[in-house]
A and B are shown apart, each in its own frame.
Chain A
């Protein structure tokens, strides 16, 4: 079983839709959960991170972590064509704050 499982998609939605991206993870020791966005031919950029369970909101983006079910979610409200990218979930912490494990990434296309 992979440490972080993510549906690779692809996911295609119309502009203005609410997008839900999800990951599951297997090791309950991790405390930091992140979402990165990667545009084609670019390095990943951090969208947001959360510590332990709970929600975090930043503009149109909301990250949610449910440690009891080992579930990580990212919601994008009022999606825009500029949101078209690959979204990667990741976790860190546990026995080493240096280790970071990514999911496979979900390819999202928002069409006008």
Chain B
């Protein structure tokens, strides 16, 4: 089944404890992206990757890191999480070569205490 998977789906952590949210797609898509969704602010793009070893900032990259060492995986790294990073995170991928026609994962709900 074609899908984007995210792990973990739910995470509660404490301020400053490094964490990684994994994202994997099995559709051989070149493009992948991360978003956060907050009430009243909607979905906002954090980082995106047009291909392996090619990443770029979205609208809200501060406090996040990404890497794209292989096509199927695009992990999101929070080196020192803070409470304002409490949010619902979505990973997405696309075969179109760009941001349109994206296929989203199920989401990761992160709480930083």
Contacts and interface: CB of A to CB of B under 8 A. Distances in A.
Nearest to A97: B98
A45 B100 CA distance: 12
Main secondary structure of the interface of B (DSSP, over half): strand
Nearest to B105: A43
A6 B40 CA distance: 11
Interface string B50-92: 1000001011000000000000000000000000000000101
B46 to A, nearest CB: 11
Contacts, number: 71
A105 B45 contact: no
A100 B50 contact: no
A99 B58 CA distance: 6
Contacts of B43: 44, 88, 102, 105
A98 B90 contact: no
Contacts of B35: 102
B37 to A, nearest CB: 9
B102 A102 contact: no
Interface residues of B, number: 29
Interface residues of A, number: 23
Interface in A67-112: 88, 92-93, 96-105
A100 B33 contact: yes
Interface string A20-52: 000000000000101000000111111001000
Given A97-B97, A100-B102, A101-B45, 19 more contacts: A42-B106, A43-B4, A43-B90, A43-B104, A43-B105, A44-B90, A44-B104, A46-B103, A92-B98, A97-B50, A97-B100, A98-B49, A98-B50, A99-B45, A99-B59, A99-B99, A100-B45, A102-B42, A104-B41
Which 8 pairs across A and B sit closest by C-beta, in order of nearness?
A97-B98, A43-B104, A100-B99, A92-B99, A104-B42, A32-B100, A102-B43, A98-B48
Interface of A: 6, 32, 34, 41-46, 49, 88, 92-93, 96-105
